[in-house]
Chain A
């Protein structure tokens, strides 16, 4: 079926180290979205990438969309304790005539201060 795979499932880093999570889709995506969910919280929209090969930055976060629009990555430079949470990628899919968002499994980031 139509899937969005995300790796790694967990990542533990020392504060100040970099972090990357990868997202792969079995089919081409019209766009890809990234969300962050803090422990005990709800997913918060971070960004949407639309163009092939697009790169967007938000302070220490860098988002990339692959040339084939089937993969994406989120890279955090010099992590801080506030970066703790689970990062989800999501791609829209037409399923049974309706557009739905298919989420990856998420990457849980924990940080040792």
Chain B
């Protein structure tokens, strides 16, 4: 199957700082990537859809100025959590959409904000 990498796998930061998470499709081109957030023992919550070369589409209730998404190439999307606070601590997972409309997920980034 298609491979998606995510970096970093985990990060601990102080409240008020910004954190950037990278998502790369390694063996396919992903014109569309998705960013999810997952709380413990819960399902995946879609945050935003990242489209190469255009602005991301955010789900209702997700602050676009808080979660900045950039999809500058067909293999890279980045999510920046700006001015992070403890309530932003979560597991963030990206996925790349393949030509067969299936999504392949990255390994996730566990963010802890102190």
Contacts and interface: CB of A to CB of B under 8 A. Distances in A.
Interface stretch (B14-22, B61-69, B81-89, B100-108): B100-108
Contacts of B49: 98, 100
Contacts, number: 47
B44 A43 contact: yes
B71 to A, nearest CB: 13
Category for how many chain B residues contact A: 20 to 34
B93 A103 contact: no
12 contacts: A31-B101, A33-B103, A42-B106, A42-B107, A43-B95, A43-B105, A44-B105, A45-B105, A98-B57, A100-B46, A105-B42, A105-B43
Interface of A: 31, 33, 35, 41-45, 48, 88, 90, 92, 96, 98-101, 103-106, 108
Interface of B: 1, 34, 41-44, 46, 49, 57, 93, 95, 97, 100-108
